């Protein structure tokens, strides 16, 4: 019996030690413990505050900041020198314990040439039963390069003229009006950037909001929204199980997400968009577009270049396309209204409707099964049409070449004449000559 109790005691002690280590690893970040655990509210009922201030050297060029369990706030000024203020709040059971624990935390600048590192250093947390809040307020000259690291607290940076490298964990991050390149990484909290020369952003389980980037943008997150607008160069976006929204990009756009919506508007270059089980909506693409999704709707409008639209078990709807169109889906409707000269539509067990608006159309290839097909052509067009369905009717306002067409029949047709080839199975085909629009 004693042996059994001893084993149970050892297991309880092991669980207690594991829980204690996890609590210590978290840095006791503003945690309010209840009496149900090893800590109670009485353990942190006393608060002490300690404030330290200092100045940076006038020739400062590079600044590195390291903090934990609190905020970092950095603002650039037009002055040639800078200053810093550190406020530490310590919570403990008694004032003496709070003072002792607070005095064990240090914050002091270390200089190496034109580089200064300002770091908050915490003692071994096993020595003190206390919690800390460490906040840094910093003013620096505009023309510096900056590097920051923070854990369990917000980071705010504004007006830096040089490059910025910021890392955060479990605390929001907001950067604005950065003159140089930005590299920012965060997790489990939001990341915002408004204004930079170029940017590389990475988040995990936290949103990204970015705008007014004068160069390339590379942004990646997961399980949260990602929005980008007013990007003056190319853009690369990656998300997982989170929506993507992009607007006003002057270069090419490469976008990807899954299980969420994807929206792209006003892209001056080409577009590559990939989604999985999420709807895609694009509008105003000046270059070529290659768009793919599955199990959701794909909508495209106002594309000047060539277009590839691919879906699986999801509807495709496209209009105002100038370049060639290649569209394919399954088990859903496919609807095109386009001025393209070349149109290729493939469907399986879904309907196809094509309205060709250009009198200079060169050809249409369309194939489906178990769904109706309708093709509308300009009034003055005189195409060569082949149309065949297996178990339904073909209705046409134009003459139709029998299928299979003979070599002599095809040879008689002028190569410059538009070729229309329509195939169906168990679905009807209808070819309509649209009425000429009266001149105004």
Q: Can you tell me the mean pLDDT for 107-113?
A: 94
Q: How many percent of the chain have pLDDT more than 70?
A: 86
Please state the separation of Cα 314 from the chain's center in Å.
22
pLDDT tens digits, one per residue of 257-297: 999 999 999 999 999 999 999 999 999 999 999 999 999 99
pLDDT tens digits, one per residue of 327-381: 999 999 999 999 999 999 999 999 999 999 999 999 999 999 999 999 999 998 9
The DSSP result for 338-375, as a single string, is E--SEEEEE-SSS-EEEEE--TT--EEEEE-SSS-EEE
Question: What's the pLDDT at 1?
Answer: 39
The mean predicted confidence, pLDDT, of the chain is 89
pLDDT greater than 50 at residue 428: yes
pLDDT tens digits, one per residue of 128-141: 889 999 999 999 99
Question: What's the pLDDT at 41?
Answer: 63
Question: What's the pLDDT at 42?
Answer: 66
pLDDT band at 44 (very low <50, low <70, confident <90, very high): confident
How many whole angstroms separate alpha carbon 431 and alpha carbon 161?
63
Q: Which residue has the tokens 């989170």?
A: 242
Q: How many CB atoms lie within 10 A of CB 431?
A: 22
* Token representation of residue 345: 């539509």
pLDDT band at 38 (very low <50, low <70, confident <90, very high): low
pLDDT tens digits, one per residue of 369-411: 999 999 999 998 999 999 999 999 999 999 998 765 555 555 4
Binning the chain into helix, strand and coil, the percentages to the nearest 5 are 10, 50, 40
Please state the separation of Cα 413 from the chain's center in Å.
51
Give φ, ψ of 39 to 5 degrees. -115, 150
Question: What's the pLDDT at 137?
Answer: 98
Strand, coil or helix: 400: coil
Strands 198-202 and 181-185: parallel
- Residue closest to 274 by CA, chosen among 241, 238, 313: 238
How many whole angstroms separate alpha carbon 420 and alpha carbon 384?
6
How many whole angstroms separate alpha carbon 270 and alpha carbon 236?
12
Q: Locate the DSSP E strands across 152-243.
A: 155-158, 164-169, 173-176, 181-185, 191-196, 198-202, 208-213, 217-220, 226-231, 235-238
pLDDT greater than 80 at residue 414: no
How many whole angstroms separate alpha carbon 88 and alpha carbon 48?
8
The answer to whether the beta carbons of residues 329 and 345 sit under 8 Å apart is no
Q: Can you tell me the mean pLDDT for 34-62?
A: 79
């Amino acid at each position: 019996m004693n042996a059994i109790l001893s084993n149970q005691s050892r297991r309880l002690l092991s669980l207690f030690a594991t829980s204690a280590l996890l609590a210590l690893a978290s840095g006791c970040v503003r945690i309010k413990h209840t009496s149900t655990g090893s800590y109670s509210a009485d353990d942190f009922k006393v608060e002490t505050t300690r404030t330290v201030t200092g100045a940076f050297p006038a020739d400062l060029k590079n600044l590195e900041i390291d903090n934990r369990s609190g905020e970092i706030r950095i603002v650039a000024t037009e002055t040639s020198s800078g200053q810093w203020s550190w406020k530490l709040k310590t919570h403990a059971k008694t004032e003496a314990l709070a003072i002792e624990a607070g005095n064990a935390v240090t914050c002091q600048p270390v200089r190496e040439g034109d580089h200064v590192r300002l770091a908050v250093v915490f003692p071994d947390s096993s020595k003190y039963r206390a919690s800390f809040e460490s906040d840094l307020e910093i003013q620096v000259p505009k023309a510096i390069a900056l590097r920051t690291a923070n854990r369990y607290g917000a980071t705010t940076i504004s007006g830096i003229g040089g490059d910025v490298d910021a890392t955060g964990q479990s605390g929001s991050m907001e950067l604005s009006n950065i003159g140089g390149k930005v590299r920012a990484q965060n997790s489990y909290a939001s990341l915002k950037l408004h204004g930079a020369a170029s940017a590389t952003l990475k988040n995990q389980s936290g949103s990204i909001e970015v705008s007014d980037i004068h160069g390339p943008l590379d942004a990646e997150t997961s399980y949260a929204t990602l929005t980008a607008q007013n990007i003056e160069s190319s853009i690369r976006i990656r998300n997982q199980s989170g929506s993507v929204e992009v607007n006003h990009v002057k270069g090419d756009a490469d976008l990807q997400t899954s299980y969420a919506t994807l929206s792209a508007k006003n892209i001056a270059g080409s577009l590559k968009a990939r989604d999985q089980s999420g709807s895609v909506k694009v509008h105003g693409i000046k270059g070529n577009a290659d768009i793919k999704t599955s199990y959701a709707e794909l909508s495209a409008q106002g594309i000047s270049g060539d277009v590839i639209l691919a879906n699986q078990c999801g509807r495709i709807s496209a209009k105002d396309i100038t370049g060639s169109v290649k569209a394919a889906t399954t088990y859903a409707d496919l609807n095109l209204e386009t001025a393209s000269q070349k149109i290729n539509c493939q469907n399986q067990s879904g309907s196809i409707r094509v309205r060709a608006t250009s009198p200079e159309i060169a050809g249409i290839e369309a194939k489906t099964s178990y769904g109706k097909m309708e093709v509308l052509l300009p009034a003055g067009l005189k195409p060569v049409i082949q149309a065949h369905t297996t178990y339904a009717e073909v209705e046409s306002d134009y003459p139709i070449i029998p299928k299979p067409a003979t070599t002599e029949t095809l040879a008689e047709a002028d190569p410059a004449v538009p070729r229309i080839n329509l195939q169906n199975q168990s679905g009807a085909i209808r070819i309509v000559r649209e009425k000429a629009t009266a001149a105004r």
